[in-house]
Structure 1
Amino acid sequence: MSKFTVYDYTFQNLSQKNMTFEQVFDYIVKFMKKDPIGSFKLMFGTDSQVHHSYTKFITGIVIQCETKGAWACIRKVIVPRKMNNLHERISYETTLTEEVVSMFTEERKDQLIGIVLPHIYKGASFTIEGHIDIGSGRRNKTRIFVNEMVARIESIGVEPKIKPDAFVASCYANRYTK
């Protein structure tokens, strides 16, 4: 059993609350089918914020079609204590990202790839990225965790991105942690 028991697998965005994962996946499929010749990126990332008596974690899922916009949603997890240890918090952020990525089974990924596959010679593409809210800059406290977290994201078959390229974690998810 993991250190934290997570029960809530509901997702939300500005227009919809309490979406199941199946609904999220259906929205992604519909978004991609609107313009299957697009250049798609399916991106995941988690950020956290320590509050007075709890720590809030937000995992973002974003499907983006270059020059055509994006569809996104979040999943919220509350840990009922202050998680002040930076390594623990970054590690749990990565765990939550891994958890959501794992919902995209090989069959689901194949379904998404199947949308763009007939159009690759017309420029269609599909990539999956895991955005980690860490940076390698000299002044960044999280730089000592970069190799560990990047290896974890790579091990699940997802292209890792760190700051400044990790905008799903550092911008989109961050907005909802406050």
Structure 2
Amino acid sequence: MNFISPTKGNMNFEEMLQDIVDYIKNLPCSSYKILVGTDSQVRRETCFVTAVIVHRRGKGARYYYCKNMQKKIISLRQKIFYETTMSLELGAKITSLLAEGGMEHLNVEIHIDVGNQGETKELIREVVGMVTGSGFEAKIKPDSFAASSVADRHTK
């Protein structure tokens, strides 16, 4: 899985995780959150983009993203569930490896590209249940900026 950091360029998963750890260790007295969100855009294929943000509360953030092309997915329900699953899988991997490194105190939030406005409101209960049932905090629009803003920007 290859990630792109707007500040550091291309990196693999391990390099991204090490960059997150270094960012946190650079100012350890700050409070941090890791945010993971996925968005997609359908054209001839479906372009999925997953964003990982390390938020240093009150002092900025750093983010990374990866793109994944899949066959064209027309069903909104299928697309939203796939986006959520991608975020959950990456969030679980990050959580596990951070815990191995002694950083189990870091909260990972999963940002879901659904909201009370529009077609996705029918899916909120199911995907939020999926995320919270997996042990993560779920955020929906307008608070799910990792998916609806950062990842969305890179699907275009």
Q: Is the structural similarity TM-score above 0.5? A: yes
Equivalent position of 1:155 in the other structure = 133
3-state DSSP of counterpart to 1:93? helix
Aligned to 2:35, the other structure's residue is in SS state strand
1:110 CA drift (Å): 5.3
Letter in 1 for 2:9: Q
C-alpha contact (below 8 Å) 1:29/1:112 kept by paired residues: no
Shift of 1:171: 0.2
Q: Determine whether 1:60 maps to 2:51.
A: yes
Structure 2 portions without partners, runs of 5+: none
Distance 1:67 1:110 in 2: 27
The runs of 4+ residues in structure 1 deviating greater than 6 Å are: none
Aligned counterparts of 1:50 and 1:113: Cα–Cα separation in 2:
37
2:21 matched to which residue of 1?
29
Q: Does 1:12 align with 2:4?
A: yes
Q: What's the CA shift for 1:158?
A: 1.1
Deviations 1:38-79 (A, max 9, x none): 11110000000011x111000000001012211110011101
Take 1:70 and 1:112, find their aligned partners in 2: how far apart are those partners? 21
Aligned residue for 1:133?
Answer: 113
Counterpart-to-counterpart distance in 1, 2:76 and 2:107: 29
Between structure 1 and structure 2, the one with the greater Rg is: 1
Is the 2:91–2:108 Cα contact (8 Å) retained in structure 1?
no
Aligned residues: 155
Give the equivalent residue in structure 2 for 1:113. 103
Aligned-partner Cα distance in 1 for 2:102–2:126: 29
User: How does the TM-score come out when normalised to structure 1?
Assistant: 0.81
Deviation at 1:105?
Answer: 4.6
Listed as ranges, the matches of 1:87-102 within 5 Å are 87-102=77-92
Kept in 2, the 8 Å contact 1:56–1:177? The answer is yes
Q: Does the aligned pair in 2 maintain the 1:10–1:20 contact within 8 Å?
A: yes
How far, CA to CA, are the matches of 1:60 and 1:171 in structure 2?
Answer: 10
Per-residue deviation, 1:85:
0.8
Q: Which has the higher strand share?
A: 2
CA spacing shift, 1:93–1:65, aligned 2, 3 Å: same
Q: Percent of pairs identical after alignment?
A: 34
Query: Gaps (5+ residues) in structure 1?
Result: 1-8, 118-125
